[in-house]
Amino acid sequence: MNAMKFTAMACIALAFLMLIAGCTQQTGTTAVTPAGTAVPTAAAPIKELKIGYQPSTHQMAEITAMEKGWWQQDLAPLGVMNVSDKVFPSGPPEMAAMQAGELDVAYVGAAPVLTALATGLDAKIVAGANSQGSDLVVRNDLDYKGPQSLKGTTIATFPAGSIQDTILKDWLKKNNLVPDKDVFIKGMAPGDAVTAITAGKVDGVFLPTPSPSTVVNQGKGKIVVHSGEMYPNHTCCVIVVSGKLIREHPEVVRQIIKTNDRAVAFNKANLDEAASIYAKKTSANLTDVKSSLEEWDGSWVSDPNIIVSPVLDYATMQYNLGYIRKSLSKDDIFDLTFYQTS
């Protein structure tokens, strides 16, 4: 009888301890109340928001927002203690950094995002940054009359998997030229590519602005094809945010889009000042920056809804080029809800 009483009392005590644990237990972003109702818990404040970008006028909005102090100003009320940015030569290394957890936000070409998503990156495109805006520049003495004029030449562009690499190779194939057989493609950073053509090491470059203007203004080449002629209205750069930021700080994601739009509006209304801000930040030649903005075929585009189709085209191109081994859907790539509610 005493044994039975002891067992019963032990069971009651165990149940009581489990109830107490249930009242205070937290899992993920929810806590269990005594009534058994799950309620959200406050996410930890963001000590540092890390943004990646590249030295291209395609991503001037990020640079303007940083140099004007708008990122910090707009995000501080949401608990973001500090905002920093880091420059990358092209999209593939930028996406490698994001996959390593070194970036929360990236201004980057859409194509390398797809490569990263196909290999497990936890992130989504939430807004556009720009469309078009790259140029094929060839040596002044190259008699360019069309794509077939490139047979036997060597063209420098961004590394494999980048927007420029993807568009260039797809365009060559559509014009019956086999990449790396009829036309040799060398992947390199923009500064290295500019140096290569000015030194006569390559026959041409396919780069985003302002690099083409740098080559032309140095008298080392001529623009023969705009990227919009290769692929009309193509998407180039986008804004990507980590899945962690989306899940834990959706209000920060919405504000990132608002601040980007603020910077885009400023750049369009104050082109000379925006060019000066960009040149100072990137150590670019101001004349090259201004002339590139006057001559480019690009535009700054924020609405992600209008870039869905071309980005899905890139996914098909990359699959056909062997850069990705799985098909990606719209839902795999985008979260359009933030732009719609920002």
Residues 135 and 189 in one domain: yes
| Coil, helix or strand at residue 131 | strand
- Structure tokens given for 259: 């601040």
Domain span including residue 35: 2-40
Phi, psi of 34 (to 5 degrees): -55, -30
Rg for the chain (alpha carbons), in Å? 25
Residues 122 and 33 in one domain: no
Amino acid at 71: W
**In this structure, are 7 and 150 located in the same domain?**
no
Q: What is the pLDDT of residue 41?
A: 52
Do 21 and 96 fall into the same domain? no
Please tell me the distance from the alpha carbon of residue 64 to that of residue 45, in angstroms, as a whole number: 25
Domain identity same for 11 and 127 = no
The angle formed by the CA atoms of residues 47, 114 and 63, to the nearest 5 degrees, is 45
Distance from C-alpha of 104 to C-alpha of 97, rounded to nearest angstrom = 10
In terms of domains, do 206 and 298 share one?
Answer: yes
Residue 96 corresponds to which tokens in the numbers above? Answer: 């490698």
Same-domain pairing of 19 and 131: no
Same domain, 108 and 15: no
Together in a domain, 206 and 80: yes
**320 neighbors 284 (Cβ within 8 angstroms):** no
> Does 179 lie in the same domain as 80?
yes
Q: Is the link from the previous residue into 212 a cis peptide, with omega within 30 of 0?
A: no
Q: Are residues 111 and 18 in the same domain?
A: no
Return the pLDDT at 42.
64
| Phi, psi dihedral angles at 22 (to 5 degrees) | -65, -30
How many domains does one find in the chain?
A: 2
Domain CATH for 335: 3.40.190.10
User: Do 7 and 59 share a domain, yes or no?
Assistant: no
pLDDT tens, N- to C-terminus, the chain (342 residues): 444 444 444 444 444 434 333 333 333 333 333 333 333 456 788 999 999 999 999 999 999 999 999 999 999 999 999 999 999 999 999 999 999 999 999 999 999 999 999 999 999 999 999 999 999 999 999 999 999 999 999 999 999 999 999 999 999 999 999 999 999 999 999 999 999 999 999 999 999 999 999 999 999 999 999 999 999 999 999 999 999 999 999 999 999 999 999 999 999 999 999 999 999 999 999 999 999 999 999 999 999 999 999 999 999 999 999 999 999 999 999 999 999 988
Q: Kindly report the pTM of this predicted structure.
A: 0.86
Is the C-alpha dihedral spanning 43, 51, 338, 120 positive or negative? Answer: negative
